[in-house]
Structure 1
Amino acid sequence: MDVLKFECPDYLITISTASVNYAWDRFVRRVRSAAQTYCAYSSSRKGTLKLRDLPAGKNELVAQNDEIVPCEEWPQLWPVLFETCKYQFAVEFKQGLDISIEKQYPHVRHQLKSIGENFKFYSSSSDSGILVGDIDFLNSPGKFSFAFDYWDTDGLLHHEKMELYVASPKLDTKNDLQQIMALINQEYENYIYDYLTLTFSSFALQRSVKNNHIIWLSIFRSVVDEYFRNVRFVMSRPNNKPVRKTYHARPERIRRWSQREEERYRNMGQDAEMHYFRYEQTENTINTRENRFVKYTLHVLGKKFREVFSELGALPNVMDAEERQLLEDYQRQFKRLETSPFFQKVGEFEGFRQESAILQQRMGYSKIYKAWLMLKNSLELIDGKTDIGMKQIWELYEIWCFLVMKRLIAKVLGLDLQKPNNYVREDKSKMLNTIVKSEMTHVIEFDNVKNGDKVCLEYQHTYNRRTKEFSTTTTEQRPDIVVTIKKKDGFVLTYLYDAKYRVQDDARDGELDEGVSIDVADYPLPDAINQMHRYRDAIYYSMKTEVRPSAKEIIGGYILFPGRVVGDEIYGRYFYQSIRKVNIGAFPLLPAAKENEDDIIQCDLLERHLREILLEDSVYEHVKDSIPQKGLVYDTENVFVLIVDRDAYDDYEHNRLSMEIPLDINKGMFKIDSIDYFMFIVENASEGYYRVTNSRLRIKDDKLILALSLTDYQSFEFGFKDVAECDTKTIVSLRDLLNVR
């Protein structure tokens, strides 16, 4: 279907795709009434714009301006380009093309080499033809500049451009994405920006000391042509300063005499013609403060550009050839201007003692000064006129999920991240921020002051054959987010989270809950949830059996996806129910609405989950709802039970850390080194249990005695708790003993 047509006297642009109906429906549910005025369109040529009438649900193109009155800008319209769709672009040139040689064929102009290579020109006559190609906007919402060049029969080169907007049906790019970027920028300044991207965003400038190469280059590209033009203007019409200079010459060469030298000449008589006399004259010089400043900007900006350009050299196969040629031309212009004879006569800049009216008001100088100030600025996350590339949205979503986890963990543990303390430790210097693509890892450690646990939050932790404590014997596993809880007794609990910027688009991609429509509900992709099963199967303890803790490594695995929640419907979704059953499932995660920014996220399910795993002291409560990893058998925690009557229990000194229990040698045998806990049972109920640190048998008065060393008494929350029926002086599973319905 055709979704957009733009026509001017020289050419017709047509954009088409298979279908946008599903993407439009989801987009409307995301942004509601804002959908019809969400974006704007513009063109370098005046013409007529037609869009598919998506708001009315009609399969026809509707003109957005009168053909008699062509326009260049069309604000407040609905989007027809979505990041989940692949589009075909066609530019049909009517006539007047110069295609006598292949070098002058029309071609698409973009920073990314792959975009230009996707397009091909086909001639239909000696002066007309069509330029066609495909563009896939996957994970790249934002503004898109469709630019192309062509030569006409008069030998003129035309640079044409049409700016479009690519919307996302998964989240609101003007609200949700802005909050995601703001949170990331707050933690890791300027990390969100990127170079050589398919789409871009527009931001306003703000004064900032910190600036990175990507921001600098984006601002530089917007001012460099005018900057060079004004430097040349200054060289042709420089600001001069009159200075008085002293010379010595013979009398016939001096035009203006001072009174003193004139008297000296008369006193010398006939010999005066043989002598040199001093004279002064006023001359104009270009060695002014303002010209020294212009020379200084050339030196500083040229040096900065060479640093950035050398870093871009690491991207030879990604950058378009014309883009590289343009940057090389900038480098040559800097060198040519810096070494020009004009600036050889200008001294070094030593700063200004006071403001210069010439820099602020005079033609040429004021524009150079403005460009200098802009290149010292950073970017503000509001709509503006500076275009800059952003990292792909899936990567931003991953990092945002990690930062949300950081804030939620701190919130649950009662820690204030704004106040420096010893309970939160992280090294932000390891978060890389550069033009060159590289993997990024980060570790944050928390102290749980409520129960003494150590909590570790990791971004992109790698499990492979070389990792020391936990490993995988198969391929490398790299979950996005890992939360590790180390209990006081050394017990280790690990939870995996994978951020997936994807939702199920088709009911055929996976099974839905009964009575639920894919057009209304957001579901994670089934393969993403299955991946969490694969993680649990692949990762296990690499420690030797005899030193391995009696615990499992992966307690649970969860998907974080951009799903919206309406009412209590989420509680019935299979991906949430499965968390309770097998500890594998999914949490919807999107930024909270502006009026509820303190909540951080829209749905509190993830926060409630973190409260359960971080604040629950009993390891049993963590493990009891989780199934073992495939092919593994988890060690059972055993308790030695002693059934006593109420009077004996009340008389017992509960602060004692040792216990001697006579055994009946004729009742059989059991393995005493398997005892983990000791518990009193009174009338089929217990008030708590001790951890056993040591157990041994000895003979005393011809009786077999079990000696237990005890520590860490753990009482149940609501007093006595019913336990399963069992015999006294036996070893039973703690899980079986407490699992009483």
Structure 2
Amino acid sequence: MVQPSSGDSLEFLCPDTGIWTPIGKMRFEEAKTYRWRTTCHAPFRFLLNGMPLPMVSTDYGWEGEWAAPFQSGMLEFTIEQVKRVTVETFLYSDKRKLTEDDFGQMISDILTEAAACFQHCGVQSKFDNSGFVREISMAQWDYIDRTFYRLQRTFKEIQAEPLRRLRTTDQWIRRENVKHVTPALLAWSERHSGYGMSPEIPVPELIWSGVREDTFNVYENQVLLRQLHELQRLLREYQTAAVDAIRLKAEHYLDRIHYWLRSSFLHQIQPHVGPIVVSQAFRKHPIYRNWFSWFHQLYQFKEYSIGFKNSIPLKDTYHLYEIWVFMRMVKILREKEALLDPSELFSLEQDGLVLNLSEKKESRVKLVGGATLAYQRWFTSATQDFVTYTHGMKPDIVLESEGKLYIFDPKYRLDHNLPMALGEMHKYRDGIVSKADGSRVVEEVYIITPAPGEENSHLFGDAYRKRYRMGAYCLKPGGTDQELENKLAEILTNDGFVAEKIN
């Protein structure tokens, strides 16, 4: 990386190590505050993505502070002094946030538990196991939706320079158009050696020779065309989904496929028929390899059997995290043999079996002993048994047992925001009351977060949770859920469940 034009160093203070590091060697992470300085005393401008950064003059030189946004991406620092110098780097994702691998793991966990719950209730419910295997799935749609831009970019690169090969075709051509000496021309000349030797035997107007031309009709392009037709078929199925957002996006993606199919290099090409093998080009060509890899991953979701409904906008990580936490709690209860009937998690729609979790529709799981676990349960002044006296409330997860409520609210927050998130739980504990006598019915309230609790560790301690009947639990994809499991076992055992069923 290039230093400022004056030759003076420009460096940042790394908040993790406390070491001043040259700008070219810094690794920036989102949601962190960085101090910077330079020994340059002459006036200059320091810009980030075109916006000037504030600075103050000190005995050392110029100094300033910059708070990285909570969003990763490219950074472009510009130093304007004698000349303009640009330093490009990257703002990495905060280590405390969920990664793309975590995102995929949550989807896998949700679908796996949904399948297990369906098997659990399949014998006693109205569902037919014959509809269990589906070609399309929630996970597959999420993959298409999140990575279609990547496929689009790959196709543009292929369209700019598609694979081709030189093909020679033997045919009758006019003698003045002969450009290459081919084996066919040599053979023809030997058979007609007398032509042109005398005026009585002139060279004929048409000569049997080879014509060389570029063709795009190669194996890789034939496979590409076949895969486009297959994706077209899949998107037409997604067009019939009940979800407006999915249907509209599927139509948009279909328009793009139709446009791609009109590309000139696909003319005169027939889709490949038969088994697809990995050719050298698919193995080594960087662009065609990316294309083949995208379609290979597209079919890794066939084992999932639960479909989708107008309920799960997977592009929203916080919403996916809420569903994932709920399904993890269902899993804990199922493994503890406390799960009685999870059939309300599913519905049989026109396009098959779907996981029916929605912000607009309450879903309840029946537990042994008459208890229930509800997702997005509404409480208003007119609801049955429990009401609110202020405004409608909708906790994410409510465990009801023996007339008592235990509320768990997944919060996709960072550590320093957890106290505020926990403070919001007071409205549930104080605002939801018994409809019969107005007494308080919420026993305990907890937030569940992927944050490790390094800044507010006291919220995660047993002493805090027991004293205030509220607190936080850490639950992250790939991590342990033992503390939450112990809490659920404690609640259900204390509320009259058979001890051997829980412990």
- Name the TM tier (shorter chain): 0.5 to 0.7
* CA deviation map 1:299-337 (0-9, x unaligned): 7789999999x969999xxxxxxxxxxxx9x99998887
Q: CA separation in 1, counterparts of 2:399 and 2:272?
A: 55
Q: Residue 9 in 1 paired to residue 31 in 2?
A: no
Report the equivalent of 2:426: 530
Q: 2:442 aligns with which of 544, 550, 556?
A: 556
Q: 3-state DSSP class of the match of 1:166? A: coil
Shift of 1:357: 3.8
Give how far 1:615 is off: 0.9
- 1:154-169 aligned at under 5 Å gives the runs 160-168=88-96
| SS in structure 1 of the partner of residue 94 of structure 2 | strand
* 1:370 aligned residue: 290
- Determine whether 1:187 maps to 2:110: yes
Tell me which amino acid in the other structure corresponds to 2:374.
Answer: E
Give 3-state SS (helix, strand or coil) of 2:494's partner: helix
CA drift of 1:459 comes to 0.9
Q: Once the 2 structures are TM-superposed, how far is the Cα of residue 611 of structure 1 from its aligned partner?
A: 1.9
Given candidates 452, 455, 466, the residue that maps to 1:576 is: 466
1:461 has 2:377 as partner: yes
Q: Does the 8 Å CA contact 2:109/2:324 hold for their aligned counterparts?
A: no
TM-score by length of 1: 0.42
Match of 1:477 in 2: 393
Matched, 1:232 2:232: no
Shift of 1:454: 3.6
CA distance in 1, matches of 2:103, 2:266: 47
CA–CA separation in structure 1 for the residues paired with 2:79 and 2:281: 40
Write out aligned runs for 1:670-685 (5 A). none
Q: Deviations over 1:266-300 (max 9, x none)?
A: 9xxxxx99x99895745445123333345556777
Using the TM superposition, give the Cα deviation of residue 213 of structure 1 relative to its aligned residue in structure 2, in angstroms: 5.6
TM-score by length of 2: 0.57
**1:497 lines up with 2:407 in the alignment:** yes
Could you tell me whether the CA contact under 8 Å between 1:404 and 1:600 is conserved in 2? no
| In the alignment, structure 1 residue 405 sits paired with structure 2 residue 335 | no
| Residues 106 and 234 (structure 1), Cα distance of their counterparts in 2 relative to 1, 3 Å cut | farther
Write the distance in 2 (CA, Å) between the matches of 1:524 and 1:336: 49
**Residues 121 and 403 from structure 1, CA distance in 2 versus in 1: closer, same or farther, beyond 3 angstroms?**
same
What one-letter code is carried by the residue in structure 1 that aligns with 2:165?
N
Distance 1:52 1:612 in 2: 46
Amino acid of the structure 2 residue aligned with 1:348: Q
Cα separation, 2, equivalents of 1:339 and 1:252: 35
Cα distance in 2 for residues equivalent to 1:366 and 1:572? 56
**Counterpart for residue 19 of structure 2:** 62
- Name the CA shift for 1:500/1:11 in 2 (closer, same or farther; >3 Å): farther
User: CA 1:482/1:523 → structure 2, altered by over 3 Å: closer, same or farther?
Assistant: same
Q: Please state whether the residue corresponding to 1:240 is helix, strand or coil.
A: strand
Q: Which residue of 2 aligns with 1:348?
A: 270
SS in 2 for 1:161: strand
Matched, 1:606 2:496: no
Q: Distance in 1 between matches of 2:158 and 2:323?
A: 42
SS at match of 1:377: helix
Q: Percent identity?
A: 11
Select 2:474's aligned residue among 567, 590, 597.
590
Distance in 1, Cα, partners of 2:137 & 2:209: 48
Contact 2:72 2:93 in 1 (8 A): yes
- The answer for the alignment partner of 1:678 in structure 2 is none
Question: Against the structure 1 CA distance between its residues 553 and 11, is the aligned structure 2 distance closer, same or farther, given a 3 Å change threshold?
Answer: farther
1:377 alignment partner AA: Q
Equivalent position SS for 1:234? coil
Matches within 5 A, 1:280-319: 281=210, 283-284=212-213, 286=215, 287-295=217-225
Q: State the 1:460 CA deviation.
A: 1.0
CA distance in 2, matches of 1:593, 1:227: 33
Retained in 2: the 8 A contact 1:90–1:132? Answer: yes
Residue-by-residue CA offset, 1:583-640 (whole Å, 9 max, x unaligned):
xx2254234998x94x6336723321122225179xxxxxxxxxxxxxxxxxxxxxxx
Report the residue type matching 1:161 in the other structure. Answer: T
Q: Contact 1:188 / 1:431 at 8 angstroms: preserved in 2?
A: no
Distance verdict in 2 for CA 1:292–1:570, change over 3 Å: closer
Segments of structure 1 that go 5 or more residues without pairing to the other structure are 1-6, 13-45, 55-60, 100-104, 110-118, 138-142, 192-207, 267-271, 316-327, 381-388, 416-421, 433-437, 486-491, 507-521, 542-550, 579-584, 618-741
Offset at residue 458 of structure 1 (A): 1.1
Q: Evaluate the alpha carbon distance shift between residue 591 and residue 500 of structure 1 in structure 2; reply closer, same or farther with a 3 A threshold.
A: closer
Q: Distance in 2 between matches of 1:11 and 1:335?
A: 51
8 Å CA contact 1:461–1:481 kept in 2: the answer is yes
CA spacing shift, 1:410–1:351, aligned 2, 3 Å: same
Aligned-partner SS, 1:476: coil
Match 1:615 to one of 464, 487, 497: 497
Q: Distance between the aligned counterparts of 1:401 and 1:257, measured in 2?
A: 77
Cα pair 1:504 1:524 within 8 Å, conserved: no
Is 2:13 the counterpart of 1:50?
yes
Letter in 1 for 2:482: I
For residue 435 of structure 2, what is the aligned residue in structure 1? 540
Q: Is the 8 A contact 1:423 1:446 kept in 2?
A: yes
One-letter amino acid of the structure 1 residue matched with residue 277 of structure 2: E
Alignment size in residue pairs: 423
- The Cα shift of 1:368 comes to 1.5
Question: Contact (CA 8 Å) 1:443, 1:458: kept in 2 or not?
Answer: yes
Tell me the distance in 2 between the aligned counterparts of 1:157 and 1:334. 42
* CA deviation vs aligned residue, 1:388-413 (integer Å, no higher than 9, x gap): x98556x5664454234323333444
Shift of 1:558: 1.9
User: For residues 527 and 166 of structure 1, do their structure 2 counterparts lie closer, same or farther at Cα, with a shift above 3 Å needed?
Assistant: same
Matches for 1:124-523 after TM superposition, within 5 Å: 137=70, 144-148=72-76, 160-168=88-96, 182=105, 185-188=108-111, 211-212=139-140, 215-216=143-144, 218-219=146-147, 225=153, 228-234=156-162, 238-244=164-170, 246-247=171-172, 256=185, 279=208, 281=210, 283-284=212-213, 286=215, 287-295=217-225, 339-344=262-267, 346-351=268-273, 353=275, 355=277, 357-360=279-282, 365=285, 367-374=287-294, 376-377=296-297, 391=316, 395=319, 398-414=322-338, 423-428=341-346, 429-431=354-356, 439=359, 443-446=363-366, 448=368, 453-464=369-380, 467=383, 471-472=387-388, 474-485=390-401, 493-499=403-409, 501=411
Q: CA RMSD in A?
A: 6.5
- Give the residue type in structure 2 aligned to 1:160: E
CA contact (8 A) 1:430 1:441 kept: no
- Equivalent-residue separation in structure 1 for 2:103 and 2:142 (angstroms): 19
Measured after TM superposition, the shift of residue 51 of structure 1 is 1.4
Whole-Å separation in 2 of the counterparts to 1:440 and 1:89? 46
Give the Cα separation in 1 of the matches to 2:26 and 2:66: 24
Q: CA deviation at 1:347?
A: 1.6
Higher helix share: 2
1:45-85 deviation per Cα after TM superposition (whole angstroms, max 9, x unaligned): x985531466xxxxxx5235xx6xx85476xxxx9865xx7
Structure 2 unaligned residues grouped into runs of 5+? 57-61, 115-135, 179-183, 196-200, 301-313, 347-353
- How far did 1:349 drift? 1.5
Query: Quick one: higher RCO (CA 8 Å, sep 6+), 1 or 2?
Result: 2
Give the aligned partner of residue 132 of structure 2.
none
SS of equivalent residue, structure 1 residue 608: helix
Q: Is this contact kept in 2: 1:431–1:442, CA < 8 A?
A: no
Alignment-derived partner of residue 318 in structure 1: none
Asked whether the 8 Å contact 1:561–1:587 carries over to 2, the reply is yes
Q: Deviations over 1:348-369 (max 9, x none)?
A: 312455636452367xx55213
- Judge conservation of contact 2:226–2:272 (CA < 8 Å) in 1: no
Distance 2:86 2:476 in 1: 46
Cα deviation for residue 186 of structure 1 reads 0.7
Aligned-pair distance for 1:342? Answer: 3.8
Q: Name the CA distance, whole Å, in 1 between partners of 2:211 and 2:254.
A: 39
